[in-house]
Amino acid sequence: MSKTKKIMIKEINGKFQYPIIIGGKIILQINSFIESHIKNKKVFVIYDNYFDLKKNNNFLYFLNQSISIIANEVKLISIKSRDKNKNLKTLSFLINKILKYNVERNSVIITFGGGVIGDIGGFVSSILLRGLNYIQIPTTLLAQVDSSVGGKTGINTPQGKNLVGTFYQPKCVIIDTKILKTLPKRELYAGFAEVIKYSLIMDKNFYNYLVINYNKILNLKEPYIDYIIHKSCQIKSKIVSEDEKEDGIRAILNLGHTFAHAFESELGYKSDLIHGEAVAIGICMAYRLSRKLGICKNSEVEKVENLILKYKLPTKINQIKTISLKRKNIFKKLFSDKKVKEGKLTFILSSGIGKAIIKNDINENTILSFLEEEINE
């Protein structure tokens, strides 16, 4: 069992504070971390149906057995993951299910799954009875290093990704690194896109670590995998503590996401392109756009592309042969991005590894020209 680590995320004005607890097999000692939140209360566990409760050697089984000892009552509700299911239909299902079970004001929701489960479960928590306490237990690498931390909740719509949601902080985040061994390889690799993002926005030493140790990290070796999760959470915690609602520096966490969300939305959130893959492509596009604008050297762009490839991720949308896109459609989708202000697109670009730039004055013809270079119709 790896050593348990704790990161305290605290808003600078004291608005919120909660721990992120990281370690191997900590699901076996879950009650020591969450007892004060769930003791003698009704608990609702929203979980990914990828996990089979009937297999008594899995993580969901251990979670259910543990919390049932101290909670007043435990109700488990399964939903399908994937972004195409993060919608109003699933939201309505969860709300009605929980209300049917006679939810109370002191009830607690636990989300157990990847980013989709955490996002929609957090959203339900924020609106049911005008706000229920909830706990995040992310089970994918992407969720562990990114979506479970920071309080963004929401669902997707045909118009765009995460356009309906709230900022609502959990009471704690429990990250069990051993659960990553249960992931399909594609899901695991997708999470590395967000890890790489953290190194690129503000920590070149972290980038170097990812370059040097990529093989050990890919194979989930300790202490390397533990370190990258801890480091990613540290970086995000620092940023969120300073800017909860993306009024300033938090925007840099969207490196690669403007293009990624446009692709995902245009494709109808199909599994041909999952979120981490879209982010990887989006990151590379952000660097190539930075090069086009003359603010980033070609050598830096090549380093980023090479690192993305080392972590088994695509660097260009055209590398995915099952996908066919129209650049004009993608251009229109860009305007559904949440960062659009006064009709102007906002991009997170870079002047080099470890240096993020918020740019909102790029000529639209330049963007169209860039998309023409990136998308072969």
Q: Hey, what's the torsion of the CAs at 159, 162, 166, 168, to 10 degrees?
A: 170
**Is the per-residue pLDDT at 240 higher than 60?**
yes
Active-site annotation holds for 246: yes
143 and 246: one domain? no
Token pair for 193: 């896109």
Q: Which of 178, 261, 288, 291 is catalytic?
A: 261
167 and 233: one domain? no
Rounded CA gap, 181 and 166, in Å?
Answer: 31
179 and 215: one domain? no
162 and 221: one domain? no
For residue 58, the model assigns a pLDDT of: 87
> If pLDDT is split at 50, 70 and 90, which confidence band does 56 have?
low
For residue 336, the model assigns a pLDDT of: 86
Contact at 8 Å (CB) between 51 and 58?
yes
Active-site annotation holds for 185: no
> If pLDDT is split at 50, 70 and 90, which confidence band does 256 have?
very high
Q: What is the pTM of this model?
A: 0.95
Compute how many other C-beta atoms are within 10 angstroms of the C-beta atom of residue 72. Answer: 14
For residue 152, the model assigns a pLDDT of: 95
Model confidence pLDDT, tens digit, residues 309-328: 999 999 999 999 999 999 99
Average model confidence (pLDDT) for the chain?
A: 94
**What is residue 161's three-state secondary structure?**
strand
171 and 213: one domain? no
Active-site annotation holds for 181: no
Q: Which of 42, 75, 86, 152 is catalytic?
A: 152
Q: Which of 171, 275, 327, 333 is catalytic?
A: 275
Token pair for 74: 């435990």
Model confidence pLDDT, tens digit, residues 116-175: 999 999 999 999 999 999 999 999 999 999 999 999 999 999 988 999 999 999 999 999
**Is the per-residue pLDDT at 2 higher than 70?**
no
Q: Which of 178, 230, 254, 333 is catalytic?
A: 254
190 in a domain, yes or no?
Answer: no
CA-based torsion, 86, 160, 162, 118: positive or negative: positive
**Residue 136 burial (CB < 10 Å; 0-12/13-18/19+)?**
buried
What is the residue range of 205's domain? Answer: 201-374
178 and 308: one domain? no
Q: Which of 161, 171, 236, 291 is catalytic?
A: 236
246 and 121: one domain? no
210 and 279: one domain? yes
For residue 102, the model assigns a pLDDT of: 95
Active-site annotation holds for 254: yes
Active-site annotation holds for 84: no
Mutual orientation of helices 298-310 and 204-212 as an angle, nearest 10°?
Answer: 50
173 and 247: one domain? no
189 in a domain, yes or no?
Answer: no
Q: Which backbone phi and psi does 65 adopt, to 5 degrees? A: -65, -40
Contact at 8 Å (CB) between 13 and 242?
no
193 in a domain, yes or no?
Answer: no
Active-site annotation holds for 105: no
For residue 242, the model assigns a pLDDT of: 92
150 and 216: one domain? no
> If pLDDT is split at 50, 70 and 90, which confidence band does 77 have?
very high
132 in a domain, yes or no?
Answer: yes
For residue 57, the model assigns a pLDDT of: 61
Spell out the residues 6+ positions from residue 118 whose beta carbon is closer than 8 angstroms to its own. 111, 136, 138, 143, 147, 148, 153
For residues 334-346, give the mean pLDDT.
Answer: 84
| Closest of 360, 132, 162 to residue 265, by C-alpha | 162
**Is the per-residue pLDDT at 237 higher than 90?**
yes
Q: Which of 75, 178, 257, 291 is catalytic?
A: 257
Contact at 8 Å (CB) between 186 and 121?
no
Q: Which of 161, 230, 250, 339 is catalytic?
A: 250
| Closest of 154, 151, 144 to residue 124, by C-alpha | 154
> If pLDDT is split at 50, 70 and 90, which confidence band does 3 have?
confident
Active-site annotation holds for 275: yes
Domain count, the chain: 2
195 in a domain, yes or no?
Answer: no
CATH number of the structural domain spanning residue 354: 1.20.1090.10
What spatial distance separates the first Cα and last Cα of the chain, rounded to whole Å? Answer: 51
Model confidence pLDDT, tens digit, residues 183-209: 999 999 999 999 999 999 999 999 999
Rounded CA gap, 128 and 98, in Å?
Answer: 9
Compute how many other C-beta atoms are within 10 angstroms of the C-beta atom of residue 88. Answer: 11
Active-site annotation holds for 257: yes
Token pair for 118: 């955490």
**Is the per-residue pLDDT at 78 higher than 90?**
yes
157 and 264: one domain? no
Q: Which of 64, 171, 194, 277 is catalytic?
A: 194
Spell out the residues 6+ positions from residue 150 whose beta carbon is closer than 8 angstroms to its own. 9, 169, 236, 240, 244, 250, 253
Token pair for 209: 């670590």
**Is the per-residue pLDDT at 110 higher than 80?**
yes
205 and 121: one domain? no
For residues 9-17, give the mean pLDDT.
Answer: 92
For residue 202, the model assigns a pLDDT of: 94
| Residue at which a domain ends, from 183, 218, 247 | 183
The amino acid that residue 127 corresponds to is I
137 in a domain, yes or no?
Answer: yes
For residues 341-356, give the mean pLDDT.
Answer: 92
**Residue 363 burial (CB < 10 Å; 0-12/13-18/19+)?**
exposed
46 in a domain, yes or no?
Answer: yes
**What is residue 298's three-state secondary structure?**
helix
Rounded CA gap, 303 and 286, in Å?
Answer: 13
- What percentage of the chain has pLDDT greater than the value 90? 89
Q: Which of 130, 185, 321, 341 is catalytic?
A: 130
What's the chain's length in residues?
377
The amino acid that residue 279 corresponds to is V
Rounded CA gap, 110 and 270, in Å?
Answer: 27
For residues 237-245, give the mean pLDDT.
Answer: 92
For residue 342, the model assigns a pLDDT of: 77
Active-site annotation holds for 37: no
Active-site annotation holds for 250: yes
Q: Which of 244, 246, 266, 374 is catalytic?
A: 246
> If pLDDT is split at 50, 70 and 90, which confidence band does 219 have?
very high
